[in-house]
Structure 1
Amino acid sequence: MLPEKRVARLVQQADISLSSDPLRSWNLLTDALAISPYDPDLWQQRAIAHLKLGYPDLAIGDAYRALLLVQELLEAHEESEFGFAGLAAWRGRRAQPKDTFATDDAVAEEASNEVEETEQDYESIPKITETEDEDLKNTDILARRLICSSLLEIGCLLDAWEQADASIKVHPEDEELRKIYKKADEKVKQGREKGVSDFQLRGGEVARVIYPWNTFEPDRTSEETVAHLNTFVNAASSGNFEVKVTELPMLVPDAKEEGKVVTKTSRQLGVYATKDLPTDTQVFSERSILTVNNRLFDPLCDCCNGPLDPLNTFSCDSCDDVMFCSTLCKDEAMEKYHPPLCGIDIDFLFKSAHTRHSVANDASATASSSTPTKALYSLLLLRTLAMALTQDVNPLEILPVKYLYGSSPPPPPPQKPPTLPFTFSDNILSVFHILTRLEVDPFKVSLHTFDIWHTLTIHSKILGTASARHNPTSGQPEVAALHLCYSLVNHDCEPCLMWECQSEMKFRTLREVKKGEEVRDCYTDPRIESWKKRREWLMGSLGGGCRCGRCVRESEADP
């Protein structure tokens, strides 16, 4: 069957399924995009399927791709990177009969076998007609409406206002965009009147769930997974710890919902002592290369983030951007992650995210994190994607990413899932900028390996399990890392362990630990006296309000 006919058929089937079975519609459109990744209408239609499935964050990512491709098609005769292929595919699909089911498959199949691909130059493709220009304009409008309304739904009020404002300047005649702008404007004004900062007005929340098509997540509580993880934990702890399945309190993002789940638990993993452990004893040490630093403070090894000896350092043979503390670290970096990063500028990740962005900007526009910690998390995402490219694997299959906890299956209604912080800059623009810097095709290649759902899944794992080390002089975070075994230790505001990380993650006991006791670490500063402040700090990593013994006790005594 001819590719354009196959795509047209998939799109028609997706349209039929959209209302009754949006997941099937999503799968059909994903199949169509695998054949024709530069057709903006396909991304826009899959964005609608994402909305039907309850994922406005993913819808924004697809609609943004549609916007980029509309511009590419309009510039196809100016030798744009994807416009020529996109315009040919877009026209080919549109030229198919409205009902592709009525066509003769055998004839089409035979015809496809006789077709030979021929090279075409930019002059040979017809110019865009007035009708085509109008249709592309409509796709652009629909994508902008979806982005702005979805940002509003998520709670990214200031982003929604800015994108609607930018969109109205492009399409001043569109009344729907004006309505969205007016609604966003009212909400932003209300927030500012209440003293809400612009930083807070940009941040929204999205569902922190395992997407139904994500087949990379292991069954974390299966005997096979637990046995596999114990090989790592046993080595890192010298036999002091073991992994077991445990029951943890169910967490919800809304404090008003807490009473409904106060007696409910969820099956998770925990780490338990295999022997009595005395106070103030190092009981654990783990190394990871999924670690990053901001290079603004003390010089650190790019691979392990250990301190550098100025008289004994090793650099990349092709660039002077990074230094290593040993030939071991240098060789490991070259083998596992550095080649795609060699010589590229990553300073954009440290620029302010509060620069006003037009929704019509391209993937290389300034898009960055707004705090030092977020910048480090973006660097962790960059390192993860570079590892995937170097090792030629899906990023969700890399160790330790595969076994890190990030999300859970959606809970049964009416329960609400945990949430994940979301901003347009951090989770959409920055991702496209990273892909551009890595020279990854953001449409064709990224569909099955670096799609927005991949990066949001990685983001949830980073947010839930990353450690961050602060510079003792500046007080600013300078290092962030992901460690498999460390991530398995659950949180408690009254911990029995304290971690420290130089080139390795290490745990020391804060008190005597008995054999069979679950060991806990604190994901925030346990010296914070206010349980409300601790919960606020922990919301991002836990995905809900902390319900450890200390927080429950203090919240009951001082509601």
Structure 2
Amino acid sequence: MPVNPTNWQREWTNSGLNNRVWSFNDIFEGQGLDLGDTTEGLNEVDGQLIRDMKALQLRAALGSRSLSTEGTVPVLRRRLQDYKRQVYHQYRALPRSDLSHWGIQRDNARKYAIEITDDDGIGALDMYTCAILASPYNPAYWLSRAYCHYQQAFFDLAIGDAYRAEYLCDVLYDTHRRSLQHGLYTRICHALEQHIMVQPRDSITGNLSAEATLLRRFNGVNFFTPTIRKATQHVLALSLMALQCWDDYKTKERLLRARMINVDRDLMPFQERRRVMEVVAAKAKTTKENTDYYYHESRAGNAPGDRIYPHDADDIDRAAVAFTDKATDIFITQNESIPWKKCKIAVSDDPSNTQLKVIATEDITKNEIIFVENPPIRGHLELPKLPIRGLELRCDNCQRGLPGGQLEKHAREFEQGNLREACKCITQPVPILFCPAPNDSDPTCAENAQARYHFQVCGEDWAWLHDAMRPIKVLDSEERPCYKYSCETQSTLLSLLLREIFDITLHRRETHDPNLMAHEIDELVALEGPRNWTNRRFPFSLTANVHIPFNILLQLGVDIFRDLSFDTWVIQLVLRKLTVNAIPCRSDRFKYTTIIKHKTFPKWEDELKIEDLPYFDPSFPKLYLYPGHSLFNHACRTNFNASWAPYGDENPNLMILWSFKDIKKGDEIRIPYFYPLDTGVSTSILERALGRPCNCGGPHLDAEYVPPPAPAKNKQSIGKKGKRS
């Protein structure tokens, strides 16, 4: 049975790991690791004595450490020596984002998630994190940290670590995987050899340790990988069970069976667990079938949203005046899409004092536009090309319709050097199109995208990512195109949005803050966090929450073993913020809710009809994040005083929010997140969409209200920047 998440502290205490403390020497002494100034002698720099260094050498050493190079030789020497004393045997890891512009001050004590000295030690979890940072390709370290996460009931983090341990072990076994990352096989072997060879010789006989003796035999490091691999599989299995990811558990069991040598012995623990948990799994399945869950949620497990992850700073005070002022400045004052500013962001009156709201700063009359926003993050899934529907061409930036033949035209022009209207994605298996240039002076949609959100993803082949979110086409025995299954069941609908956030984070690290964390970019930091998600559970699947995020990072050039700024906990926080705040395109939002729980596959392409498409296509192929819009609180049927809609066909991405009754200065502006007459919106759907129960005061499901029509569009009323997204 997995660890009980409500009683994990007792198990952790019984293991004895809760009181274990490791100092700098305990972790790094005798490991053969070169940590630069941290481990080098106090009087040496790169093997040279400081007292023997000349002026040019001293200035070069100081400059490389971002220290002042001004002064005489004695001053330079003393400055370098003081620095060496300051950093000697002091290890700081996992730097945090600079959020001072949000009023969040992270001084030296909070600038790093981990800090170790000879005097101040750290616990088991941080110790293994430091070991991973020092030797990132050692699967034993990843397994050990996975076990710590598992024992503390952070099952999602345990899965992320166990997956990386399994990945490294698979590279040693699978020759195909060795070629995916150049040099990875050699690094893994070196890491394991280094780990084993630090074991001291026998103090009496002088013989090598038993592990070192095995290492020198014909099979080398492969003597040890079966044990690591088997332990990894058990941590994965137990964690998947704890998160109720029953389909993922069965899939891993099938893969394990295919790899086993002694099937009866190695499979027995899995079979015993499955027998014990069958009743729980059946009950969970019945609950989902009897509740309003979409098809894409049907196979997902769930993870709690209110636990603070070990390395999360947890220091964002959304109720601080500096924080709400900055949110108002970013989302309203600097919003050039609308010239007048008649609202601001403030702290709500909820008991937790962590929820934000938007209030009117002056009287607002009926049918007056209050807020306008373009989506800084968008995810456009390419639907399967079918004979029964024509090819719809739309600009990826503003979503305006494009004339037929635009794809071929832009592809030809791009090959001829026209870079204003297209980018390298025009030549990829999933091409991205942009609008033709309106004139020679205004920026094109392609230039707009490349300036705001389309950076390292440009020119990469992302067909695999689209395939991971849609039905997969194969040829049957008669060579007929057949859609065998849909990857939508893996809960991967947020994957394109996640890719955009990774891309934006990497770009801003180069241009602004080198330590920026993905969940703390400006578009996400103002949104709700774990303290707003009390008793809230979020969907979790091995594919959507672990496999795909790490594969995206690998394609963007991130080393998922060495770079822990994109660790599993960061990915989970980003996905949870997206789960609550992502908005489907207008056609999915402004219609009655239809919960499609089942989709039957396989489906043959030549048998599909138009009426079959809702039971074939992914439910939400287009998703957007409007962070400013997300700060407006929801209200049910009769309790909202404003509404919202896309601007129209002229600019489908532009979101406008208007009042449909007079709003007095100081009143909160509330909007409906669903179509007001939608009787299909149950309490369950509403809570999953909001991330919490609705606090509008009710009645929550009153279908009597008839909403007013949207105000007539006034093109002159919206700022110039709002015309193109």
TM-score, normalization by structure 2: 0.59
- Superposition pairs of residues 318-397 of structure 1, within 5 angstroms: 318-320=424-426, 321-325=431-435, 327-351=443-467, 370=488, 376-392=493-509, 393-397=516-520
Whole-angstrom CA distance in 1 between matches of 2:641 and 2:325: 24
Alpha-carbon distance in 2 for matches of 1:394, 1:417? 25
Q: Is the 8 A contact 1:58 1:453 kept in 2?
A: yes
Superimposed CA distance per residue, residues 341-362 of structure 1 (whole angstroms, 9 cap, x where no aligned partner): 2233333344466999xxxxxx
2:642 aligned partner, one-letter code? L
Whether 1:454 and 2:570 are equivalent positions in the alignment is yes
The alignment yields a C-alpha RMSD, in angstroms, of: 4.0
Give the equivalent residue in structure 1 for 2:136: 37
1:160 aligns with 2:243: no
> Is the CA contact (8 Å cut-off) linking 1:273 and 1:518 kept in structure 2?
yes
User: Structure 2: how far apart are the matches of 1:48 and 1:549?
Assistant: 44
CA distance in 1, matches of 2:224, 2:230: 10
More helix by share: 1
1:195-230 deviation per Cα after TM superposition (whole angstroms, max 9, x unaligned): 849966622211214424223863222111111112
Q: CA deviation at 1:285?
A: 0.8
Q: Which residue of 2 aligns with 1:557?
A: none
Residue type at the aligned position of 1:488: L
Deviation at 1:70, TM superposition (A): 0.7
In structure 1, the gaps of 5 or more residues are 11-16, 103-125, 249-263, 357-365, 411-415, 555-559
Q: How many residues of Structure 1 are paired with residues of Structure 2 in the alignment?
A: 486
Counterpart of 2:313? 215
Aligned to 2:327, the other structure's residue is in SS state: helix
Aligned partners of 1:391 and 1:78: how far apart in 2? 32
Aligned equivalent of 1:485 = 628
User: Could you say which residue in structure 2 is the equivalent of 1:542?
Assistant: 690
Structure 1 pair 127–187 and aligned structure 2 pair: CA distance change class (3 A):
farther
Q: CA deviation at 1:25?
A: 2.2
Q: CA deviation at 1:135?
A: 2.5
Question: Would the aligned equivalents of 1:348 and 1:367 in 2 still touch at CA under 8 Å?
Answer: no
Task: Give the Å deviation of 1:151.
Answer: 1.2
Judged with a 3 Å threshold, the aligned counterparts in structure 2 of structure 1 residues 190 and 274 are, in CA distance, closer, same or farther, namely closer
Cα distance change, pair 79–161 in 1 and its aligned pair in 2 (3 A):
closer
Q: Which amino acid aligns with 2:577?
A: K
CA distance in 2, matches of 1:215, 1:468: 31
Q: Give the structure 2 partner of residue 133 of structure 1.
A: 222
Question: Which residues in structure 2 correspond to 1:416-435 (within 5 Å)?
Answer: 417-435=535-553
Q: Which runs of 5+ in 2 are unaligned?
A: 1-27, 40-88, 90-115, 204-214, 384-390, 411-419, 438-442, 473-483, 510-515, 589-609, 647-651, 703-725
**1:499 matched residue in structure 2:** 644
Percent identity between the two aligned chains: 23
Tell me, what secondary structure is at the counterpart of 1:370? helix
Q: Which residue of 1 aligns with 2:345?
A: 243
User: Distance between the aligned counterparts of 1:385 and 1:354, measured in 2?
Assistant: 21
Shift in Å, 1:22: 13
- Determine if the alignment matches structure 1 residue 67 to structure 2 residue 128: no
Deviation string 1:60-79 (CA, Å, 9 cap, x unpaired) is: 11101110101123458995
- What is the SS of the residue equivalent to 2:123? helix
2:274 to 164, 181, 189: 181
Where do residues 260-279 of structure 1 align in structure 2 (5 Å cutoff)? 265-279=352-366
Q: 1:27 to 1:369 in 2, by over 3 A?
A: farther
How far 1:189 sits from its partner (Å)?
Answer: 5.0
In the TM superposition, residue 5 of structure 1 has moved relative to its aligned partner by 4.3
Kindly provide the CA deviation profile for residues 431-487 of structure 1, in whole angstroms up to 9, marking residues without a partner as x: 123223334322223x22x22211111111111222221447988645322223212
| Secondary structure in structure 1 of the residue aligned to 2:488 | coil
Report Cα offsets for 1:487-539 as digits up to 9, x if no partner: 21112223322222323221022333222111112233332336xx4322123
Relative distance call for 1:217 and 1:318 in structure 2 (3 A) is farther
Matched, 1:316 2:397: no
Moved more, 334-343 or 451-460: 334-343
**Could you tell me how far 1:316 is from its partner in structure 2?**
2.9
Counterpart residue number, 2:397: 303
Q: Does 1:204 align with 2:301?
A: yes
The answer for the alignment partner of 1:413 in structure 2 is none
Is the contact between residue 293 and residue 302 of structure 1 (CA under 8 Å) also seen in structure 2?
yes
The Cα of 1:376 is off from its aligned counterpart by: 4.9
Structure 1 counterpart SS, 2:316: coil
Kindly state the Cα deviation for residue 160 of structure 1 after the two structures are TM-superposed.
1.6
Distance 1:318 1:168, change over 3 A: closer
Q: Is the 8 A contact 1:369 1:378 kept in 2?
A: no
* Higher Cα Rg, which structure: 2
Name the amino acid aligned to 1:268: Q
Matched residue SS, 1:400: helix
CA distance in 1, matches of 2:444, 2:645: 22
Distance change in 2, residues 1:235/1:78 (3 Å): closer
Quote the Cα distance in structure 1 between the aligned partners of 2:570 and 2:286. 37
User: Retained in 2: the 8 A contact 1:289–1:303?
Assistant: no
1:407 aligns with 2:524: no
